[in-house]
Amino acid sequence: MLQQFYQGHRPLIITLSTLIALCFSISGLLTPSIEGLDSSHNVMDGLFFYDLLSQDLWDMQSLGELLHYPLNYHKQYPALGFVYWPPFWPAVESIFFGLFGSTLLAAQLSITFFTLIFCLSFVSICSRVINVWLSFATLVALFTTREFFFSANTIMRDMPAVATMTATLWTALKWQESTTPKRWLGLLVVVATISIYTKQTTSLMLLAIASALLIQRPSTFKEKPTLVAMLSFSILALPLIVFTLTTANANLGQSFGSNTTAIVQGYKGLDRWSMEGWTYYCKWFFRESPGLTLLALVGLYSIYRRVRGKTASLVEITLITWLVLFYVLFSFFDNKSARFTTLVMPAISILAAIGINDIIQSRTTLSKVPRIAIGIFLILMLSIPHAYKTYNAMIPRMKNIDKATTLILNQTKNTKTDDCIAYTGKFKQVFVQSIRRQDLDRRLSIVDGADQDSKNCSVHVFEKADLNTSVQTKLNNQYQLLKTSFFSPSKERKLIVYYKGK
């Protein structure tokens, strides 16, 4: 029945999904910007792949050059995020840089691309347990939650991560439903690999699917194709495992370790074993989306009854394992953030829709169309309170970065020779990506103001708070001075620029 509906209405479903993705991404597309250090890393990672694949790779003479390329690139542009995160999304982002130029709009368009993937896979998953039109209403309700809306409008890894998670679940469901399961199982290995190479925490979805299969269809893990697929996936995941245990072990430190404060500047976290730590996400759900959360509990109870009666579907069981595993793992993690709820809000939204659907079916004798209409009305009405909060919330954006960068670049040597900019301050990496995007000839390097090499730079930039009197006196005797400023999400910050002149 569902398959017949999709075959007959596929263009309409794709069109509606695209419109919803664009509608809830319009803020980021109209005002693409950097929100902090993480998004600066994300832009630079995409530019790394763009520079490598569009030019530098073809100029290399040996494998050794390729092996040393990341280190040399990071030395010139010290803002790569590969210390923390895997490379799949930046590789996709580089395609958008190639198509639309090295702009923040191109980076934001890559987020919109993943938003569309999410919308399509979400509707397909949701439609397996409720009506397709109620699924679209649930999707709209989901995007009215603050963190999910922010994820579609900032250059962060959350939307690519949740999009690949839902794509993984959709592929797993197709594998279990198909008359040609081997083909879908092979695709599942590919999609699951893409997902974990987008962000390590997306492995949450694989654990949820595996747990659901163990509950409903444990014999699956005794079948030869499944064992081969698991082995293939393990081999493909091995480089990422090594990377995470070595280069990216900071991620482990702020997850399974207890040193988030040392890694995330200014982080004031909760004690792992405190009541506050283990109720953090529960309180957030009820505070930010009380209606959806209460209905999700109704949906959970409905599915629990079906599990006991052995009538629950695989997707329903997966929703439960998805929610439970998220809560246990992320409550245990040392680093807690409202932003991480993006990875589980789709499950809560679908559970809420199931709760509404079951209440209407059990309490009314209406025909199908009125029931669907009531369900759509209720879930949209319940989203109004958090939609209002989201509408009035300000997406954290940094402003005047490119304008200040243009001023800085105008003070560098007016030649084609190499030059460097010495930057002192905690927002150096924010300016690195802006300098790279505007320095089309890539002749400039950015060095730390405390580095010995900084004495060779024609321009020295200081955030006002980091400029002491002795350094100021010394620079006043050698350089000309100008002042500018930029805006972090919280306040205006002064920049002091010393330059030698042309």
pLDDT the model gives residue 7: 52
pTM: 0.92
Q: Provide Rg for the chain, Cα atoms.
A: 25
* pLDDT, averaged across the chain: 89
End-to-end CA distance of the chain: 72
**Of all residues in the chain, what percent are helix, strand and coil, respectively (each to 5)?**
70, 5, 25
With cut-offs at 50, 70 and 90, classify the pLDDT of residue 8.
Answer: low
User: 47 with 102: CB under 8 angstroms?
Assistant: yes
> Looking at per-residue confidence, does 44 or 411 come out higher?
44
Calpha distance 146→109 (Å, rounded):
20
Give the per-residue SS3 of 161-186.
HHHHHHHHHHHHHHHHHCCCHHHHHH
Q: What is the dihedral of CA 260, 262, 264, 265, to 10 degrees?
A: 140
User: 375 with 360: CB under 8 angstroms?
Assistant: yes
Instruction: Name which of 253, 26, 251 is nearest 143 in CA terms.
Output: 26
Q: What is the pLDDT of residues 358-391, one digit of tens each?
A: 888 887 777 888 888 888 888 888 888 888 888 8
Q: Three-state DSSP class for 181?
A: helix
pLDDT the model gives residue 261: 60
pLDDT the model gives residue 272: 79
Q: What is the pLDDT of residues 424-455, one digit of tens each?
A: 888 999 999 999 999 988 999 999 988 888 88
pLDDT the model gives residue 6: 55
**Domains of the chain, start order:** 2-32+103-392 (no CATH), 401-499 (3.40.190)
